[in-house]
Chains A and B, each alone.
Chain A
Amino acid sequence: MKTDLENDLKDLFTEMVADEPPLGAPVEARSTARGSTWTFNVHSALRGALARGFATAGLAGAVAVGAVVAPRIIDAPPTDRPGSLIQPGAAPSERPQPPSSGTLATAPDRTPDTTTSARPGSSEPGQTTTEPQGDPTKPNPAAGVAATAYPSPDAAPPPEPRSTQPPTQPPTQQHDCTPKGNGSIATSVACDAATEAVLRFAHGRVAQKDAETWLTSHAKSRYDRNESGLRLYAPSTERPYASYFVTERASEDDGSVRFTVEINQGYIGKSGDRIRTEHVYVAAATNWRGQPTPNTMAVVNANLVAGPTEP
């Protein structure tokens, strides 16, 4: 026999979740990390990342599983993860011009889609989903990287010719750091070598054709043994996707910059929802010259950072 209070609780909980926002809806976020305050619309996932404060200190206790560094610029790799370098080889010869102006941070371009889908077996037929829709197998210049699905290893080869470079040769093409669709970059973050390395890696993951060539043999070995926490491929039977966000966390001092790259990867389910299966953060910092500072760039699998104890 339930008491009045228990019945009230039940009613309260039901009432509280009645105003449930659609999945993936942008939320207003405010970050005060490192004393810098800015307000912007950001996807909830990124907002969560910001709320948790991906400061270097926070990463110190993290289980680092890989590194994204520019060896020619960074003297020492992270001490806890020796050797797991991704070699850009051809260091960027010139820094792209920072964006001229604009807001400090940009919202990830995830246009809500209010497609109504009746999910078979769902407890809520006809519910509204907001995840981006569309055919990911078709290039979508407007949507950019995040809408560019890369084929599975078993899938037919992409129409464009694959690079004929040997695996140890990094791509020599200067990376384009301009924002691409869902891959948003904070407008105030100069696209320096570190950013470029991260973005090139992210793009490589998306395109499934260059990322591995960025790995040293040691890192490749770690990846192959599934020790890196990085998985470049989505399930072979599903439509994969990958997206990234680059966001400035806060300026350090005298123009130095800290930023976080968040890479989400997963597949697009039958109902069109983006089902995230990988969640990787890259924390990095640059000095006032825009050069990455040692030991601050690390790919960290979010699942290994203060993660739950699995049953």
Chain B
Amino acid sequence: MRRDTHGFDDFYADQMRPLRRLGFLLTGDWSEAEELAQDAMERTYRAWDRISEKDRPWAYARTVLVNRHRSLLRRAMVEAKHAVTRSDTAHPGDLSEDRVVLWSAVSSLSVRHRQAVVLRFYEDLSDGDIAEIMGCPVGTVKSLIHRGIARLRSATDLAHLATAGSDVA
């Protein structure tokens, strides 16, 4: 198999870790994140010949990762595996209580909401970029982010209320 890999090595060096971090924020598990990132890189490599700068390889790789994440979760649900629950239980031990609550809330988001929120607030991508990566209209992205934030706010407020209630009691 011959392939022109010119430039891919640099792309890999630049993007492997950011992709893995994105995968972690979507799955909560570093090993799954690495696998997602490797898969995304593998797919990007296969398409490298036809990907040009105009096609934005970084967006292509993120699209593959996001799709792969979704399909894996779908399959996990079919197989009755609790990938999300299992994965997202892990978090750094030195997180503050507020952060733990917020991370739990992020973990409870639906796949699409979580993807949109992570792409926006971690990757700092525009609505247009997120729409391209997630394969949906810009309006949908705005809605996903808006609702995702609303659910996060609701979940964290509830947690704070519960904490306050227990303190009072």
Query: Is B144 interfacial (CB 8 A cutoff)?
Result: no
Query: Do the beta carbons of A9 and B13 come within 8 Å of each other?
Result: no
From the candidates B34, B71, B153, name the one contacting A23 in the complex (CB within 8 A).
B34
Q: By the criterion CB–CB under 8 Å, are B24 and A16 in contact?
A: yes
Q: Is A277 within 8 A of B98, CB to CB? A: no
Residues A15 and B149 in contact in the complex (CB < 8 Å), given A23-B20, A121-B10, A124-B17: no
**Chain B nearest Cβ from A15, distance in angstroms:** 7
Max chain B CB contacts within 10 Å: which of A48, A127, A302, A306?
Answer: A48
Q: Which residues of A contact B68 (CB under 8 A)?
A: 307-308
- In the complex, what distance in Å separates the CA atom of A238 from the CA atom of B25? 32
CB-CB under 8 A from A10, the residues of chain B are 121-122
Contact count band on B: 35 or more
Interface residue A173 (Cβ < 8 Å from any Cβ of B): no
B98 CB contacts on chain A under 8 angstroms: 8
Tell me if A232 is interfacial: C-beta within 8 Å of chain B: yes
User: Which residues 43-96 of B have a CB within 8 angstroms of A?
Assistant: 43, 45-47, 60, 63-68, 70-72, 74-76, 79, 81, 83, 91-92, 95
A234 vs B39: C-alpha distance when bound (angstroms): 17
Q: Are A303 and B43 neighbours in the complex by a CB distance under 8 Å?
A: yes
Checking B1, B18, B35, B99 against A232 with a beta-carbon cut-off of 8 angstroms, the contacting residue is B1
Could you say which of A50-58, A68-76, A156-164 contacts chain B?
Answer: A50-58
State which residues 258-311 of A face B: CB under 8 Å.
Answer: 267, 269-271, 273, 275-279, 302-303, 306-311
Q: Is A29 an interface residue (CB 8 A)?
A: yes
CB of B14 within 8 A of CB of A121, answer: yes
Contacts of B103 in A (CB 8 A): 12, 16
Contact B47 A15 (CB under 8 A): no
Contact B31 A48 (CB under 8 A): yes
From B24, B41, B47, A310 is in contact (CB under 8 Å) with B47
Closest to A19 in B: B92
A20 & B17 in contact (Cβ 8 Å cutoff): yes
Pair A45/B35 contact, Cβ less than 8 Å = yes
Q: Interface residue count for A (Cβ, 8 Å)?
A: 63
Let me know if B67 and A235 touch, CB within 8 A.
no
**Contact: A235 with B5, CB < 8 Å?**
yes
User: Chain B nearest CB: distance from A267 CB in Å?
Assistant: 7
| Given contacts A5-B149, A20-B24, A235-B1, A273 and B35 within 8 Å (CB-CB) | no
Docked-complex contact B17 and A23, CB < 8 angstroms: yes
B24:A44 contact, CB within 8 angstroms: no
- The interface residues of chain B lying within 8 Å CB-to-CB of A122 are 13-14
Q: With both chains docked as a complex, state the minimum distance between the C-beta of B157 and any C-beta of chain A, in angstroms.
A: 10
* CB atoms of B99 and A277 under 8 A apart: no
With a cutoff of 8 Å between Cβ atoms, the chain B residues found around residue A45 in the complex are: 34-35, 38
Mark interface residues in A216-245 (1 if CB within 8 Å of B CB, else 0). 000000000000000111111110000000
Does B9 lie at the interface of the complex (its beta carbon under 8 Å from any beta carbon of A)? yes
Q: Which of A12, A127, A276 contacts B41 (CB 8 A)?
A: A276
Q: Please tell me if the beta carbons of B16 and A17 are within 8 angstroms of each other in the complex.
A: no
Is B139 on the interface with A (CB-CB < 8 A)? Answer: no
Nearest B residue to A267, CB-CB: B5
Given A12-B102, A15-B95: A277 touches B45 (CB 8 Å cut-off): yes
Given contacts A16-B25, A119-B13, 18 further A-B contacts (CB under 8 A): A9-B106, A12-B106, A17-B21, A19-B92, A51-B81, A52-B75, A53-B79, A122-B14, A124-B17, A236-B2, A269-B13, A270-B10, A270-B13, A275-B45, A276-B41, A279-B38, A303-B43, A306-B72
Residues of B participating in the A interface, judged by any CB pair closer than 8 Å: 1-5, 8-10, 12-14, 16-18, 20-21, 24-25, 30-32, 34-35, 38-39, 41-43, 45-47, 60, 63-68, 70-72, 74-76, 79, 81, 83, 91-92, 95, 98-99, 102-103, 106, 117-118, 121-122, 132, 135, 149, 152-153, 156
13 contacts between A and B (CB under 8 A): A9-B121, A9-B122, A12-B106, A20-B20, A20-B21, A119-B14, A153-B2, A275-B41, A276-B41, A277-B46, A279-B38, A279-B39, A311-B60
- The interface of chain A, by Cβ under 8 A from chain B, is 3, 5-6, 8-21, 23-24, 27, 29, 44-45, 47-48, 51-53, 58, 119-124, 127, 153, 231-238, 267, 269-271, 273, 275-279, 302-303, 306-311
